[in-house]
């Protein structure tokens, strides 16, 4: 019997949480020069130049600086006790410091401390006032403008605790070729050497995927993530079972909610200690969201065009949503992430522990500044997902008998090496073995691999280029049994044997992709890309598919 595919809504995730949290929790930049117009607190006041950690008596300006600090107390340096005398100074900064010294001298004069300010000093300052007359006037105007802008922001801010992030991805795409041989001479499933079937999804299409992410900060260690998503794009032919696409043509940014708004993420993150963070939520909790992605271009709106090139597909195992996870920075170069995620947690008949789930552990290592390595293991139970791994890529369905329940173990590794500032070499490998836990037993195995060359800041800062070459998940062995005989084995359906033999795939799909992301502005990128699929569907007689796409991403 042929299983009916479970069409789970694909989630397209926003940028990873650490990036969002860093934007919210980042310290405000220190002023270039701290100029105190009011007397400082006694404990923080610097009354002697020797108290500056980076000023030595041998410095050429030591005596001048000593006079300014000791006699007029008008230049206090930076909050960390440094003066940073070797850095460049703008005219505005100098005007600010000069203004502070002028006010200090006016106080001295007003207090009749005539001996504290000599006539020579006053003459020099008068010359400086004439030289910087325009800057001193502008300084007051700039302060007034800044005060007005701060007041406007306070009156019109979205929230004191919540920041809004978002992106809208528009895709124009189409594909050529796609004639497939998957019917025999009798019109039933099988191979007869004739490419009799034409891809019906080969027209030019235009669609979108929009995401909003609300990051609510309860305190610097606790955050609530709320994600909303809507889209209308599907390029995978789901109407013709066992068609040519077989999960290899899906694009990374496609997601079809029929233009309806769905909740893609609802999770709470808490930093328990300086090295340990916990995550729990009813949506958006799975290996993709919890594992630290070693790929530096893993993103639906900014990464590769195809879904396969986004990340190792086994990390998407199970399509879970609700659960809990942790992220532990064990050492400066090693971190560990773990996650438990349920696929049908919202169904009372399934829940968190009584049906499909995925549990995973990843070790991420950064042995050098230029090298990232991740090793991961996942275990998944298919449950209501029947014979699907729910990765959505390549050989996603690995059993074809109705009611099949699988227990899957998956291992993989991803590595990236930044050869220099302009070239990064990357790749991954992944293996799965799925044991049938009902109907009679047996197992099925798959593997996939990918190599990539990435070019940061190609031709201009902020741009990105990439070339990816690999093999999507492919069944490499299968011996599933039902009713005491071989049954439900996917590859043998294509040979006309109805799943009753343990033959492997008769070909190998190879995926070649190139894209170039052009940063038009800080908030707009345009990414043309081309994907070529040789022997699609892991069959040597299927025609090469060529996909062209133009993706435009607006972000804020």
| pLDDT (tens digit per residue) in 222-264 | 999 999 999 999 887 655 544 555 688 899 999 899 999 999 9
Q: What are the pLDDT digits (tens) for 334-370?
A: 999 999 999 999 999 998 999 999 999 999 999 998 9
* Residue-level pLDDT at 102: 77
Give the whole-number percent of the chain exceeding pLDDT 70: 78
Which whole-number Å values give the CA distances from 112 to 105, 116, 117, in the listed order? 11, 9, 10
The per-residue b/e assignment along 493-514, b for 16 or more CB within 10 angstroms, e otherwise, is bbeebbbeebbbbebebbbebb
* Residue-level pLDDT at 52: 65
pTM over 0.85: no
Q: What are the pLDDT digits (tens) for 300-343?
A: 899 999 999 999 999 999 989 899 999 999 999 999 999 999 99
Confidence of residue 108 (pLDDT cuts 50, 70, 90): confident
Rounded distance between C-alpha atoms, residue 423 and residue 170, angstroms: 28
Confidence of residue 105 (pLDDT cuts 50, 70, 90): confident
* Residue-level pLDDT at 48: 57
Confidence of residue 277 (pLDDT cuts 50, 70, 90): very high
* Residue-level pLDDT at 183: 77
* Residue-level pLDDT at 55: 65
Asked if 406 and 387 count as a contact pair (C-beta separation under 8 A), the reply is: yes
How confident is the prediction for the chain on average, in pLDDT? 81
Confidence of residue 416 (pLDDT cuts 50, 70, 90): very high
* Residue-level pLDDT at 125: 72
* Residue-level pLDDT at 551: 97
* Residue-level pLDDT at 78: 66
Determine the 3-state secondary structure of 432 from DSSP. strand
Here the tokens at position 228 are: 């909303």
Rounded distance between C-alpha atoms, residue 225 and residue 223, angstroms: 6
Q: What are the pLDDT digits (tens) for 174-230?
A: 988 777 777 777 767 777 777 777 777 888 999 999 999 999 988 889 999 999 999
pLDDT for 291 beyond 60: yes
- Ranking 40-44, 319-323, 496-500 by mean pLDDT, the lowest is 40-44
Confidence of residue 79 (pLDDT cuts 50, 70, 90): low
pLDDT for 138 beyond 90: no
pLDDT for 290 beyond 80: yes
For the ranges 83-97, 139-153, 357-371, the one whose mean pLDDT is highest: 357-371
* Residue-level pLDDT at 245: 55
Rounded distance between C-alpha atoms, residue 354 and residue 7, angstroms: 20
> Locate tokens 């008949």: which residue?
349
CB contact set of 323 (below 8 Å; sequence gap of 6+): 280, 281, 285, 286, 339, 340, 341, 342, 345, 352, 357
Bigger pLDDT: 289 or 85? 289
């Amino acid at each position: 019997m042929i299983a009916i595919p479970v069409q789970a809504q694909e989630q397209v995730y926003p940028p990873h949480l650490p990036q969002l949290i860093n934007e919210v929790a980042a310290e405000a930049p220190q002023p270039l020069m701290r100029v105190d117009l009011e007397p400082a607190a006694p404990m923080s006041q610097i009354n002697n130049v020797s108290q500056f950690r980076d000023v030595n008596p041998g410095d050429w300006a030591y005596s001048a600086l000593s006079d300014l600090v000791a006699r007029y107390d008008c230049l206090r340096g930076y909050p960390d006790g440094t003066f940073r005398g070797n850095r460049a100074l703008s005219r505005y900064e100098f005007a600010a410091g000069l203004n502070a010294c002028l006010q200090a001298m006016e106080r001295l004069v007003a207090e009749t401390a005539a001996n504290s300010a000599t006539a020579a000093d006053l003459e020099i300052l008068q010359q400086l006032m004439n030289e910087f007359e325009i800057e001193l006037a502008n300084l007051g105007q700039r302060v007034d403008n800044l005060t007005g802008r701060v007041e406007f922001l306070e009156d019109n801010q979205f929230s004191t605790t919540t920041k809004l992030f978002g992106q809208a991805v528009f895709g124009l795409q189409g594909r050529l070729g796609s004639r497939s041989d998957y019917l025999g001479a009798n019109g039933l499933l099988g191979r007869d050497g004739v490419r009799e079937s034409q891809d019906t999804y080969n027209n030019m299409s235009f669609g979108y995927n929009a995401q909003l992410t609300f990051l609510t900060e309860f305190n610097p260690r606790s955050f609530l993530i709320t994600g909303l998503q809507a889209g209308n794009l599907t390029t995978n032919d789901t109407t013709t079972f066992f068609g040519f696409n077989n999960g290899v043509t899906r694009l990374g940014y496609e997601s079809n909610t029929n233009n309806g708004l769905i909740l893609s993420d609802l999770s709470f993150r808490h930093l328990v200690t300086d090295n340990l963070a916990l995550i729990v939520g009813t949506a958006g909790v799975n290996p993709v969201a919890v594992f630290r992605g070693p790929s530096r271009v893993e993103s639906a709106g900014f990464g590769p065009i195809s879904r396969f090139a986004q990340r190792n597909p086994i990390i998407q195992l199970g399509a879970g949503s609700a659960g809990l996870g942790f992220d532990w920075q064990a050492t400066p170069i090693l971190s560990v992430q773990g996650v438990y995620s349920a696929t049908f947690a919202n169904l009372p008949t399934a829940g968190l522990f009584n049906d499909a789930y995925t549990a995973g552990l990843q070790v991420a290592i950064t042995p050098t500044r230029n090298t990232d390595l991740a090793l991961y293991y996942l275990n998944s139970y298919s449950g209501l997902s029947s014979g699907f791994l729910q990765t959505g890529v390549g050989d996603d369905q690995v059993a074809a008998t109705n009611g099949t329940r699988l227990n899957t173990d998956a291992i993989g590794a991803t590595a990236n090496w930044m050869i220099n500032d302009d070239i990064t070499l990357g790749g991954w490998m992944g293996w799965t073995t799925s044991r049938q836990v009902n109907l009679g037993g047996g197992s099925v195995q798959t593997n996939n691999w990918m190599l990539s060359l990435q070019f940061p800041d190609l031709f201009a800062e902020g741009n990105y280029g990439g070339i990816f070459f690999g093999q999507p998940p492919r069944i490499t062995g299968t011996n599933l049994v039902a009713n005491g005989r071989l049954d439900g084995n996917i590859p043998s359906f294509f040979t006309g044997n109805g799943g009753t033999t343990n033959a492997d795939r008769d070909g190998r799909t190879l995926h070649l992709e190139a894209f170039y992301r052009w940063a038009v502005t800080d908030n707009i990128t345009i990414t043309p890309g081309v994907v070529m699929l040789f022997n699609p569907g892991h069959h040597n007689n299927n025609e090469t598919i060529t996909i062209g796409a133009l993706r435009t991403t607006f972000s804020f």
